[in-house]
Structure 1
Amino acid sequence: MALTSPRRSALADQVIAQLRNQITSGEWPVGSRIPTEPELVEQLGVARNTVREAVRALAHNGLLDIRQGSGTYVVATSELAGVMHRRFAAADPRHIAELRSTLESSAARLAAVRRTERDLRQLDTLMARREEAWASGDAEAFVAADA
């Protein structure tokens, strides 16, 4: 009989989804320590091994960092960000800046080519909101509108 790939239990998948949602929603922001394993077991009502499997999966995907003796910390809000963090953590900051410059200018060029009239109206609205915040001297509103 041929071997087949093992399947992750549906329960572990549900726990992974719940934990991922806590991260992507901002409930657990980057840099924060997530609840301990016993706390997660109690909150989720699942076995310790299920929690371990979920946490390890999210760590493998780059969302969490498991620090022995310290806890488990959120390091990214998406799998892509986690992979990028791991890949470029030791890179020269100048190289990162060069990469970002290249990617962001290409993204801006594509956005300009693919824009719609609705996109232009939305940009006009956002720019007006930013200008109003600047004129009123509301730095917090300006930063929010500029993001």
Structure 2
Amino acid sequence: MAVTDAAIDKIKGMIVSGELAPGARLPKEADLAERLGLSRNSLREAVRALALINVLDVRQGDGTYVTSLEPRLLLDALSFVVDFHRDDTVLEFFQVRRILEPSATGMAATNMDDADIVELKAILDALPEDPSIEELVANDLRFHQFIAKGSGNTVLSSLIESLSGPTTRARIWRGLTQEGATAKTREQHTAIYEAIAARQPDIARAWATVHVAGVEEWLRRAL
């Protein structure tokens, strides 16, 4: 194991064991390096690496802290990584969406409160009658992310949000080339909303599956 990897593993061990809790400040660099049997250079490299994936927060002039370790924060690094997808793997991202989003939509039908339902309707109504491609994609992202958040599962919501990047390009492509994409999106979003508002998780899940699978199938033919 490389020295830096070993240093990362040791700091991770302190966090996983509970010795360093979320929000805790790491000991001074010299003290921590001696305690872990590391050189200060190796420790610095480990801290930089863990800061990049939002496990540590380096505050200039203050110290280094463990972040909140919330799923949204940790999975933010995933969204950075998936942006490097290739066009020949975008279908695989849609397959993952087809697994995750219907489950989140079904959960949202059970867990959203009345205020959430009202806000979801407002998002639906915010789409202009004749939207540009950018407006259509932005509204679509907002609609799906709000539903994912409404599932009540922060890990699931963060995973879905992380997958938005690679699929945005496909949404734009579809909007530019498929006739009737706007009307179909509006129709399916309305069906999803109505199922959630009626507290019908099975129907909401089914419509979400139809919606994501429709984009996936169009993309499969286009590629």
Alignment partner, residue 35 of structure 2: 43
The partner residue of 1:31 within 12, 23, 27 is: 23
Distance 1:52 1:74, change over 3 A: same
Looking at structure 1, the residues matched to 70 and 10 of structure 2 have their Cα atoms a distance apart, in angstroms, of 14
Alignment partner, residue 100 of structure 1: 149
Which consecutive segments of 4 or more residues in structure 1 shift more than 6 A? 94-97
| 1:39-58 C-alpha deviation (Å, 9 max, x unpaired) | 11111222111000001111
Looking at structure 1, the residues matched to 152 and 67 of structure 2 have their Cα atoms a distance apart, in angstroms, of 22
Letter in 2 for 1:61: I
> TM-score normalised to the size of structure 1?
0.51
> TM-score normalised to the size of structure 2?
0.35
Name structure 1 gaps, 5 residues minimum. 1-8, 88-93, 110-147
Letter in 1 for 2:149: R
Alignment partner, residue 51 of structure 2: 59
CA RMSD across the alignment: 3.3
Name structure 2 gaps, 5 residues minimum. 80-118, 120-141, 157-200, 202-223
Please say if residues 59 and 66 of structure 1, whose CA atoms lie closer than 8 Å, have aligned partners that are also in contact: yes
The partner residue of 2:2 within 10, 14, 33 is: 10
What is the CA distance between 1:78 and its match in structure 2? 7.4
- Normalized per residue, which structure has more helix? 2
Distance 1:27 1:98, change over 3 A: farther
Alignment partner, residue 64 of structure 2: 72
In percent, how many aligned pairs have the same letter? Answer: 37
Q: Higher RCO, 1 or 2 (CA under 8 Å, sep at least 6)?
A: 2
